[in-house]
Amino acid sequence: MSQEKFLEPWQLRAAFARSLSDMYGKEVPAYTTLLEVSHEVNADFVATHGADAERLGSIDRVTAERHGAIRVGTPTEISQVARIFGAMGMHPVGFYDLRDASSSSVPVISTAFRPVERDELARNPFRVFTSMLVPGDRRFFTADQERRLDEFLGARTLFGPDLLRLADRAEAEGGLPATAAEEFLRLATEAFELSREPVDQAWYRELEAVSAVAADIGGIASTHINHLTPRVLDIDDLYARMTARGITMIPAIQGPPAWEGPDVLLRQTSFRALAEPRTFRTPDGRVIEDSLRVRFGEVEARGIALTREGRAAYDTAVAELDERAAGATEAERQTIGREIWHRTFPVSETALADQGLGYFTYELLPDDGRIGGHGSPVDDNGRGDHDRRGDGPGTHDRPRTAGASAGTRAPRVVRAPVVYEDFLPRSAAGIFQSNLTEEGAKDAGQTGADRDDDWMAGALGRDLADPFELYARQVERSRQTAAATLGVDPE
């Protein structure tokens, strides 16, 4: 009898990302257009930039790269999400409180499930921004609404017992045999499909008056993927091409402005929420067809991960930009943004590293001028050489020529940028808000509910990783490895 193929967590993750993408493409046709344009942008970028294009991730990684966004209602639901993603080698990283992210706020707290090890990220970096409603926050909900929300959410089942059983088994056994894996992936994908069940109109509208996000989470008896985001290497180019195709984008690219210096953190933009048909049950018992604008198409470009110091500088710069650009046009905002950026960040990547603002690993450059492992090809599915690095072959001064021309056989150590793998609360709140037609209502005079990273870890029943610590650990490991290979003290 032939041995059944066994899928490891990363293979489940890569397969799940593909399966969700196929499903979402059927549900939201504009997403397929976005993927097409993203591929064009990336292909052109690689053609014009050569090896430099892959400094923040191989083109194979970037092509397959997606992040999803989901929204759930209760600690029980988010702990089940943690089990499903745990099976795929995705762990909760970071805590985001979007209830008071500047003026735009939504009644949720969030984390991101993602691979944390460098090799795992290189195999497939799929991540899911996961938000959870806070019904106990009095700035948004009355005590009576909280009670009815708890009742409604407590009565629904988002993830069935078969799915959870397979998830637990995969996590315990480090993967699943092919037949079980197929079933797991089918059930997991289905759990995030848009439901055609009629929605209680009065309840939905009541929640929508508080926040459209609250209605999307607590007004419906099922959940769904809210968006699935491809990564591009040039988001300004993407924005222009989508606009040229007649697709209305939100007015701005969120995050750092376009400028001459190194790209840091994350820049995101999206096309407006789509009107999708939904069935409602009216208070007098009729079933009617209506439409809802909740889901949208987002796209992102990723830059260098910033250290705590770099991030503090970023936050200060954004605050200044907000203040100075209040009421300005988008073009003016860009100009002010570039001016502030020039004052805040160095234009050279070397200076960013030297000033301790960004994370950089130490890579050994062998005598062929290539960083270890990068030469091994990996196909679209993320299969291939497991030793492959995720961070591309980069250094600040073109390593490929450095080793080759010198003709020496001694390995050199070069610095390579670490790509930002997480999210930004401000741009998340902006993405949430810019797609909502209803303003919602928040009573700032009321007190919120205390929620922090420890609370989230308790709800998840798992450790919540700190993104800064993950990046710092990656840098430290690279130092140790480089030092050991060279036979020197890492100091």
Interface residues with Ni ion (CB under 5 A) are: 69, 229, 298
The gap from C-alpha 392 to its chain's centroid, in whole angstroms, comes to 20
Instruction: Please report which helix (H) or strand (E) contains residue 113, including its range.
Output: strand 108-114
Residue from 13, 61, 71, 118 touching ligand OOG (CB under 6 A): that is 71
Residues pairing with 292 in the sheet: 276
Q: Which CB sits closer to ligand OOG, 112 or 321?
A: 112
Nearest-CB residue for ligand OOG? 428
CB of 72 to Ni ion, least distance (A): 16
418 part of the interface to ligand OOG, by CB under 6 A: no
- Looking at residue 386, the DSSP 8-state letter turns out to be T
Helix (H) or strand (E) holding 431: helix 425-434
Stretch that binds ligand OOG, among 48-56, 75-83, 421-429, 449-457 (CB under 6 A): 421-429
Residue 386, token pair as written in the block: 């497991």
Between CA 240 and CA 386 the distance in angstroms is 37
Please report how close the Cβ of residue 406 comes to ligand OOG at its closest, in angstroms. Answer: 43
N residues, the chain: 491
> Should residue 69 be labelled a site residue for ligand OOG when binding is judged by CB under 6 A?
yes
User: Which residue is listed with tokens 């609404």?
Assistant: 145
Answer for which of 21, 104, 201, 226 binds ligand OOG (CB under 6 A) is 226
> For the window 10-49, what string marks contact with ligand OOG as x by the rule CB under 6 A?
----------------------------------------
- Residue that has been written with the tokens 């140790």 in this structure: 480
Among 16, 31, 126, 129, contact with ligand OOG (rule: CB under 6 A): 129
Q: How far apart are CA 140 and CA 432, in angstroms?
A: 16
Q: Is position 456 an interface residue for ligand OOG (rule: CB under 6 A)? A: no
Using the minimum distance from each CB to Ni ion, give the nearer residue, 69 or 213.
69
Beta bridge partners of 419: 304
Rg value, the chain, Cα? 23
- Residue from 432, 440, 456, 471 that binds ligand OOG (CB under 6 A)? 432
Site string for ligand OOG, 374-413 (x = CB under 6 A): ----------------------------------------
| Span of 164-172, 308-316, 425-433, 444-452 interacting with ligand OOG by CB under 6 A | 425-433
Name which of Ni ion, ligand OOG, none residue 131 binds, using a CB cut-off of 5 to 8 Å depending on partner kind: ligand OOG
Give CA–CA dist 7/252, Å, rounded. 41
Q: Which is nearer to ligand OOG, 232 or 378 (CB)?
A: 232
Of residues 427, 433, 474, 478, which one binds ligand OOG by CB under 6 A?
427
Instruction: State the binding partner of 432 from Ni ion, ligand OOG, none, CB within 5 to 8 A by kind.
Output: ligand OOG
Cβ closest to ligand OOG, residue 104 vs residue 478:
104
Decide: is 431 part of the binding site for ligand OOG (CB under 6 A). yes
Spatial CB neighbours of 126, under 8 Å, sequence gap ≥ 6: 13, 14, 16, 17, 65, 66, 67, 68, 88, 90, 114, 115
DSSP conformation letters of 307-360: -HHHHHHHHHHHHHHHHHTTT--HHHHHHHHHHHHHHHS-SSHHHHHHTT-B-E
- Rounded Cα gap, residues 17 and 20, in angstroms: 5
Looking up tokens 């029943």 gives 461
Residue 268 within binding range of ligand OOG, rule CB under 6 A = yes
DSSP letter (8 states) at residue 249: B
Q: Which is closer to ligand OOG, CB of 128 or CB of 416?
A: 128
User: Interface residues with ligand OOG (CB under 6 A)?
Assistant: 69, 71, 129, 131, 226, 268, 298, 423, 427-428, 431-432
